[in-house]
């Protein structure tokens, strides 16, 4: 527990918030998120912008993707504080994703009649086009796109084929649409139990799209070009609280299908208690350790000589299922410190593996701050430079990629220090 601090120190901390946040502090928000939620999505703060790919094995060329939800602004969904079809918000989100080393987004697509979501998708494609090949967009055709068809008792196979043709014609013509070997990628979500003749679907399609299916069984779907892993909270057990067996099974099957595109998965946790469709499923975030463990599983199957094609993060912004990394991943790190003569000392509580490194800042009388030194996360002391005319100091724990940074309270310096 952090002890109460003198009012002068609290005032100094407040005036530091804006300038410190520009670099490594935690007082402000450097993400595109506006608010968190009560089911595991932290309130947005400064997050580490170290590249997410660095959590993979050395030399990884893996494409880093996120799952994006475009339904915000729809009153049927949780109020995220922004609209998915706001051009400025779309630009902020792509900026934020790219700043974390994310290469693209696969958006949930619910058919041609969802006007707001489709308007958001068009804006996203236009924004990606502005990045001139540095950011891609693809679609995941959701079973929700079959809702009207199922009510009428229509031919599901024909309906799915029409949905894919719509995606290819309306969106895949964009130069920002994700293509693999010149073929537009289309994934599917929630259709695993439906009676669809994928061979007939394939024969009727235009544009030769690449079809990817969810879960390890997707490798065996007729006409499958590959599969993607997801998150399986329904498999959680006492001996598998992070649902890692699901990932291990997926990668094991993927390695037996080397000719097909493989998209692995990494996630921070899961909690669908805010979702209208929720089933009270949960994967605990473990203060950021679940995030790291899901990368570790991929690293145990792939390497520089055996590359994982791509990795998807479920999700960028599904706040209702508690999977959003947009506001950053909380780590439970707490830092306390003191000045002992000319030596700054500190303690860190929480899972140290979620910290990348430490940064020590000197606070000027006017509130500005200067980075004094970057240190290994195991460091616990530092000599204060003789010429440091500081009013105080802050120790910042810079998180691993997409994890929120943590900072100590301002450690006040005495008005005069011994030589």
At 415 the pLDDT is 64
Fold of 52-321: TIM Barrel (3.20.20)
Q: Right CATH number for 7-24+330-412 from 3.30.428.10, 2.60.40.10, 1.10.357.10, 3.30.450.20?
A: 2.60.40.10
Say whether pLDDT at 188 is over 90.
yes
For the residues 174-180, what does the mean pLDDT come to? 98
pLDDT band at 27 (very low <50, low <70, confident <90, very high): low
Return the pLDDT at 24.
Answer: 43
- The band of 365, judged by pLDDT with boundaries at 50, 70 and 90, is confident
What's CA 401's distance to the chain center, in Å? 9
Domain spans of the chain, in order of start = 7-24+330-412, 52-321
Nearest CA among 151, 71, 160 for reference residue 117 = 71
For residue range 242-272, what is the model confidence (pLDDT) as tens digits? Answer: 999 999 999 999 999 999 999 999 999 999 9
| Mean pLDDT for the stretch of residues 57-84 | 97
Q: Return the pLDDT at 342.
A: 87
Is 5 or 350 the better-scoring residue by pLDDT? 350
pLDDT of residue 388: 62
Question: Does residue 366 register a pLDDT over 90?
Answer: no
pLDDT digits (tens, 9 = 90+) for 74-121: 999 999 999 999 999 999 999 999 999 999 999 999 999 999 999 999
Mean pLDDT, the chain, whole residue set: 91
Measured between alpha carbons, how far is residue 215 from residues 2, 247, 253, 288, 306 in Å? 45, 9, 10, 24, 20
CA 53 – CA 34 distance, rounded (Å): 25
């Amino acid at each position: 527990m952090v002890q109460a601090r003198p009012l002068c120190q609290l005032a100094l901390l407040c005036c530091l918030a804006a300038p410190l946040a520009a670099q490594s502090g935690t007082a402000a928000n450097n993400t595109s998120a506006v608010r968190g939620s009560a089911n595991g999505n932290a309130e947005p703060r400064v997050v580490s912008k170290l590249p997410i790919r660095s959590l993979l094995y050395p030399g990884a060329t893996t494409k880093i993707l996120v799952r994006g939800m475009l339904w915000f602004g729809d009153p049927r969904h949780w109020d995220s504080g922004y609209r998915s079809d706001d051009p400025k918000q779309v630009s902020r989100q792509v900026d934020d994703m790219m700043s974390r080393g994310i290469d693209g987004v696969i958006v949930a697509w619910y058919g041609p009649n969802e006007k707001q979501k489709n308007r958001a998708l068009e804006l996203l494609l236009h924004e990606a086009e502005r990045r001139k090949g540095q950011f891609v967009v693809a679609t995941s055709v959701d079973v929700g796109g079959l809702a009207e068809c199922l009510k009428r008792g229509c031919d599901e196979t024909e309906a799915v084929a029409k949905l894919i043709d719509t995606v290819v014609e309306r969106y895949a013509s964009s130069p920002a649409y994700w293509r693999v070997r010149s073929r537009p990628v289309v994934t599917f979500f929630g259709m695993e139990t439906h009676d669809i003749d994928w061979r007939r679907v394939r024969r009727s399609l235009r544009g030769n799209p690449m079809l990817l299916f969810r879960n390890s069984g997707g490798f065996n779907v007729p006409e499958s070009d590959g599969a993607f892993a997801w998150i399986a909270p329904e498999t959680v057990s006492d001996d598998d609280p992070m649902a890692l067996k699901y990932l291990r099974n997926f990668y094991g099957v993927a390695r037996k299908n080397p000719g097909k595109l493989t998209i692995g998965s990494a996630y921070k946790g899961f909690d669908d208690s805010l979702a209208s469709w929720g089933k009270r499923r949960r994967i605990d975030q473990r203060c950021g350790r679940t995030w790291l463990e899901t990368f570790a599983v991929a690293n145990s199957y792939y390497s520089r000589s055996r590359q994982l094609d791509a990795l998807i993060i479920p999700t960028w912004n599904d706040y209702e299922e508690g999977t959003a990394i947009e506001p950053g991943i909380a780590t439970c790190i707490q830092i306390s410190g003191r000045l002992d003569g000319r030596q700054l000392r500190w303690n860190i509580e929480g899972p140290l593996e979620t910290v990348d490194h430490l940064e020590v800042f000197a606070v000027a009388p006017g509130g500005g701050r200067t980075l004094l030194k970057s240190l290994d996360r195991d460091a616990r002391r530092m000599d204060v430079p003789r010429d440091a005319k500081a009013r105080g100091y802050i120790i910042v724990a810079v998180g691993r990629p997409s994890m929120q940074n943590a900072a100590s309270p301002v450690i006040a310096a005495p008005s005069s220090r011994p030589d």
